[in-house]
Structures are given as structure tokens and as C-alpha cells.
Chains A and B, each alone.
Chain A
Amino acid sequence: MAAQVMTTKEAVQKFVRDGQLVCFGGFTHGIPFAIGHEMIRQRKKHLAVCKETPDLIVDQLLAAGCIDRLMFSWAGNPGVGSLHAFRRAVEQQVPNAVAIEEYTHFITGARYLAGASGLPFMPVTASVFASDLAKHSDVFKTIDCPFTGKKICLVKAINPDVAIIHGQRADREGNTQMWGIVGSNREIAMASERVIVSVEEIVDSEIVRRDPNRTVIPGFHVDAVIEEPWGAHPSYSQGYYDRDNQYYIDYEVTTRTRETHDKFLNEWVFSVSDRKEYLKHLGAERMVSLKTKSYYSTPVDYGYFG
């Protein structure tokens, strides 16, 4: 069944339930902040979250006490420093104890790919067993390769309940397109039961169909498609706006204690009812400063074979 166009609020109400395993897409590029903020506003609880780079959005879900279990491979503020809510949760169990399970980027990617391929595991080189990481995880194991006899690592598939993705554009059927850094968005979506996609703009289906190589997720596997301009701020959307680096730098300072972090959530999440109000709070001047100079690719000729 094709996707339904809806608001972020409706999509989170309809498809995200307490206690579910939720996977966020985006890799520095296209982090789905708008949907994540709505999950905080709706006070989702006991979530298990998997995100190779949790970024600020998962840190905010941790600060708000939405997460019981976190799977990740690099938990930092990209290019800036620490994620303080993540550290408080791990070092002091504040605001709640969070079970962590950590991998390497390659292992996380392999979990997604296995899940997306309908397989129980994905084989990868056993190099991770030279590290101490293998002592603390049971989602990768070694066996002897039946063909070469050499030790090989099998990585357990992950199949999330819900994938949360931000793309650049989609049509009303949910066919979702991305360009620039695509990360694991296709694998995460195809591995998941439900898929929620926000995009910078919903476009005519003709635009998608004239450039099918750019499609990352087919609409038949998308449940909700949301038009949410600036839905990835303070991360960026290639061709639409730059990363708000000052926000990432300020976040490092303003979230160092639980009290200041709560104040931060009040200002940027609870005091606004949706993304439109968030952007009003952000202000036109700041938005203009993040706008990108256009830099078009040359259109390619697919040829018409009708």
C-alpha cells in the first residue's frame, strides 16, 4: 500500500509506540530532527533506539527519558565533542539507566543490510575480534567459513519496528529521493516494519519518475510521508541548507548539566508545538544565513523509450 501524506504529529501518533525498536536514518546529513522532537513532545517511553551516530537528536531523546536501550557505534557531537545526555545516562544513569550495546560502524551497517536483505546475518571479516568490543556484544560471532576454512564474523540482522528517515524530496506515494550522503537510509527503511519519511518538499510524481536513480525508498514500503521543510535542522539537507554548526557548538556548552539540558529541551522542543513554531523561534535571519548557493548537476538524458 502506498504511503499516506500526513503531519509529523499524526505520523508519530499513528506509528510510534512505547517500547518499540526505532531506527533513525541520516549520517550527519539529513538527521530527522523534526520527527525526533515530536517523539519527545509525545513523551514516548521505553524505546530501544539504534543509530550508528546518535547525533544530537538521540541525545535529546535520552535527556527526555524516552530511551531504555541504545545501540550505536559512535556517540559524539560530530566535530565538536561529547554528547552530554549520553554520558550522563552511561556514567550516572541519569535521568534513567540505559542499556547500551555498541558496535563499529561496519558492524552496524552489516546489521542493517542483513535485516534489509531478509537474512539472519551478514558475514564480514573477523577483524573486530582483535578489539575488546567483541567481549561486550552478542550480535557478532565467528564461525569457520565453509569454503575457505578461515574464521569469519557473522553479524546478526536488525529489523526495527519503525524507521525514521529524512530525505530531500518524495512524491505523494512516498517514493523518496536523496542525494549527497545517503548513509544507511535505504537499508534502515527496507529492514523496518514501518517507515516514516519527512522531506524538504513533496513533489509531483513526474519529477521522481524522470530521475529514478535517485530514489532511495520505494513508496510501497513507506507508511507516512511528511512535507517538513527544514526538518533536519540543525543538521543539513544537501542543496537546501547548511549544517547550523553554531547550534552544535552551543549545544556542547548548554547541555552540560541535567538542569541546563532540561531548559534547552523546554526552549527548543516543549515550548513549540510543531516545526513551524520551531522555525519561527529559530528566526529568519539565521535561516537565511544557512541557505546554500545553488550548484546544479547537469541533467542526464535517460532517453525516452515509450
Chain B
Amino acid sequence: MVEWMSKTYAKDFSFQELMVAAASRELKDHEVVFVGIGIPQLGALLAQRTHAPNLTLIYESGVVGTRPERLPLSIGDPTLVSGTYGIFNFYETFSMLLQRGFIDVGFVGGAQVDKFGNINSTVIGDYEKPKVRLPGSGGGCEIAGLSKRIVIVTPHEKRRMVDKVDFVTSPGFLNGAEARERNGLSGGPSAVITTMGVLRFDEETKEMYLASYHPGLSVDQVKQNTGWDLKISPKVGETEPPTVEEVNILREDLDPQGIFLKKAVT
């Protein structure tokens, strides 16, 4: 663990920054990633600027292999085009890249996430009479259904981390256990990275559990901010903090104006 030992950890960082750093560590070099805008995107861009320089980043606008110099403000930002190696049209992006099975990781956010990793980005409340109307699936439904694995990045609040989502926009493990496979889907969520911890899924029940809590927090605090009786890994410990380098890249290079880091994901 020489590499671990040689890291210089940041002492001053926000939970948002830790969330992004923890998300970036879910990505391995040379993987093909379908990237959602906002906080998930920051995680992928941070990975590309640190341990995974050969990531292929794909945005739903059809941009393939991008290395944006400035922070893309939307999934179709022109900075994604400058220096990218390919652009697919809309249908091809979903059919030939995603449906065909080339996406290793779907990197997504969501307004509500439930204990089986299902994501709601459609409505809060009843579909016909919504309390809050959210933007809808976009690429989310198929990214979650057809990527080899999914990493979900979301702020940790009781109203977001719920027992059961109001609407399944993007399928996780559905009702748990074998439900996802019964619906003809492989893959599924591998991690949920929040502002309070890193959560993973039980291999058999497919229920989410707490794998690590962020430094400065306790297991009880995480449980209190979760909408169901959250199970805790027997090996639970503190999340690895961000390094000085990671925090510097986030603050000085990726999001100097705090456009995504200072705002909650919607």
C-alpha cells in the first residue's frame, strides 16, 4: 500500500468535495463511462484528471471521448466538442453505444433513491397530480438499465434517500433479490455515493447498506438521515478523505465558481 501511504490528504474539504472524490474512485482507468451532468460529471472529470486519464467519457448529446478544458454547464456544452474524438447522433448514442453494451459505468444522479437503488427523477407525489414535477428520465432509464454497472451520486437527505421511490424512472434492483434479472436486465447499481457516506448493495438481497461514513460523521447520523432502517456493514469505517491534489483540481480547475459544488443536485 505504498501508494496509499504516499497520498497527502486534505484537511479542509466539504462533504460535497468528498462525495465527488469518492465517486471518482469508483472509476477505473480505460473504462467507458456514460456521464450525467452536475455532481456525477465532476466525479468523472476528476477521475480523468487523476488516476484514470484514459477514461472514455460519453455524454447523451453524442459526444464520445471528450476531455473538456472548462467545466461543461450542460450535457451539450460546446466545450465538450472542442478536442473530442467523436460525435454520434442522438439515436446512435443510445442504440450503438449503450444498447449494444459498450458502457462499463453509468454515472448518474437522482432526486430520490430507494433502498434497492431505484432512481426517481420524474415526480414527487402522484404521477397524475404531482406535488413537484421533475424533469423526467432523459437518458437515465436506459443508462441505468443497460450499463454494466451504475454509480449513483446524490446528496444525503431523508427526503431523497427513501424506502420506496414515488416513481421508478431508472431501474435499480427493483424489489430486490432476483427482480432485476427477472426483468431481463443485467448489471445494476454498484455504489451510491452521498454527502454522508459510501453505500453498497448486499449480494443476495440487493438492499443498500452503509459501507463507510464520511470523516466527522457517525453511523447514527447517517441512519437518522436515511428514510429506512439502514443496514450497516460489519466492516464499516471512515471514507478515505480527498487528497490535496483532488481538492485543488476541483476548486481551481474544474469548478472554480462553485457552480455544481456549492449547489444541491436537482
Contacts and interface: CB of A to CB of B under 8 A. Distances in A.
B115 to A, nearest CB: 17
A75 B146 contact: no
Interface of A: 27-29, 52-53, 72-76, 78-79, 81-83, 86-87, 90-91, 102-106, 109-110, 112-113, 124-133, 136, 150-151, 180-184, 186-187, 236, 238, 242-243, 245, 292, 295
B90 A183 contact: yes
A118 to B, nearest CB: 15
B135 A186 contact: no
Interface in B238-266: 266
Contact of A78 (B75, B99, B133, B141): B75
A126 B183 CA distance: 9
B137 A130 contact: no
A183 B80 CA distance: 14
Contact of A28 (B61, B140, B169): B61
A76 B135 contact: yes
B62 interface: yes
A183 to B, nearest CB: 5
B6 interface: no
Nearest to B81: A180
Contacts of A73: 136-138
B78 to A, nearest CB: 5
A86 B132 CA distance: 11
Contacts of A182: 62, 87, 89-90
Contacts of B80: 181
A27 B251 CA distance: 29
Contact of A184 (B75, B89, B141, B171): B89
B127 A136 contact: yes
Q: Which of B63, B98, B131, B137 has the most CB of A within 10 A?
A: B137
B90 A82 contact: no
A109 B60 CA distance: 12
A187 B91 contact: yes
Interface residues of B, number: 52
Given A105-B94, A106-B142, A133-B169, A181 B63 contact: yes
A106 B98 contact: yes
A106 B95 contact: yes
B180 interface: yes
Given A79-B73, A82-B266, 6 more contacts: A74-B137, A87-B132, A91-B131, A127-B146, A183-B61, A183-B90
B133 to A, nearest CB: 5
Given A127-B185, A295-B82, A180 B87 contact: yes
Nearest to A187: B91
B122 to A, nearest CB: 7
Contact of B136 (A75, A109, A112, A130): A75
A298 B94 CA distance: 29
Contacts of A133: 122, 137, 141, 169
Contact of B168 (A28, A72, A105, A132): A132
Nearest to B180: A130
Given A76-B135, A104-B139, A129-B183, A184 B73 contact: no
B67 to A, nearest CB: 14
Contacts of A131: 137, 141, 145, 168-171
B99 A150 contact: no
Q: Which of B132, B133, B171 has the most CB of A within 10 A?
A: B133
Contacts of B215: none
A181 B91 CA distance: 12
Nearest to B82: A295
Contacts of B216: none
A102 B136 contact: yes
Interface string B97-140: 01100000000000000000000001000010011111111111
Q: Which of B81, B90, B122, B134 has the most CB of A within 10 A?
A: B90
